[in-house]
Amino acid sequence: MQDSAQTPPDAESSGKATATRAAEAVPSPEAQPVPDPAEELAKAQQQAAEYKEAWLRAAAEAENIRKRAQQEIGSAQKFALEGFGAELLPVRDSLESALATDNASLEQMRSGVELTLRQLSQAFEKHGVIEIVPAKGEKFDPHRHQAMTLVESDAEPNTVVHLMQKGYALNDRVLRPALVTVAKPPEKAS
């Protein structure tokens, strides 16, 4: 009788073959060249120096971009009204010439003021300053109108009854709301 603990001869030979192949696949330590630690350290230091130099260059470039952007923002803020100011100079000149005239008739003064107003309106239009002029009966808009008084009226409640002063907006931002009187429903007699 054979002992069941013994391995069959085929299994034993295949196990030796597998072990031999595994030993052949792993090279022996003597076959691999050992890198020189000093050489590896020098390579690592050189690479670290290259990375540090690249980082310093990137940081300097980012700082330069930041400074340039701040200068451009400062310049833009400083000269933002340059065009608008240049458009207002003829208006000032017209007003000064009107005041310098000693013997102007009422008609001459009126035509001069109308011309000056046209110049001012053109300057406003060119730079996006628009009038806010609510029509009678227009719904009250608290973003564009300022209610000065509420009056009893037959008009629909919360609508503009009277314009007291024009408003102005610059590129959809209200510079000054229109001053208006707003309708409220009549009070019922008790």
Residue 14 to residue 19: CA distance in whole angstroms = 9
Q: Give a yes or no: residue 175 inside a domain.
A: yes
Residue 38 to residue 43: CA distance in whole angstroms = 9
Q: Give a yes or no: residue 140 inside a domain.
A: yes
pLDDT along the chain (190 residues), means of 10: 53 55 56 83 94 96 96 87 88 89 86 92 92 94 94 91 95 94 82
Q: Give a yes or no: residue 152 inside a domain.
A: yes
How many structural domains is the chain composed of?
1
pLDDT of residue 34: 80
Q: Give a yes or no: residue 57 inside a domain.
A: no
pLDDT of residue 114: 93
Q: Give a yes or no: residue 163 inside a domain.
A: yes
161: domain CATH number is 2.30.22.10
Residue pair 174/134 in contact (Cβ under 8 Å)? The answer is no
Domain that holds residue 179: 129-190
Q: Give a yes or no: residue 80 inside a domain.
A: no
- Return the residue matching tokens 């050189």: 46
15 Cβ contact list (under 8 Å, min separation 6): 7
pLDDT of residue 147: 95
pLDDT of residue 16: 58
Q: Give a yes or no: residue 30 inside a domain.
A: no
Nearest residue to 155 via CA among 132, 135, 136, 178: 136
pLDDT of residue 21: 57
In a 3-state reduction of DSSP, which class is residue 138? coil
pLDDT of residue 169: 95
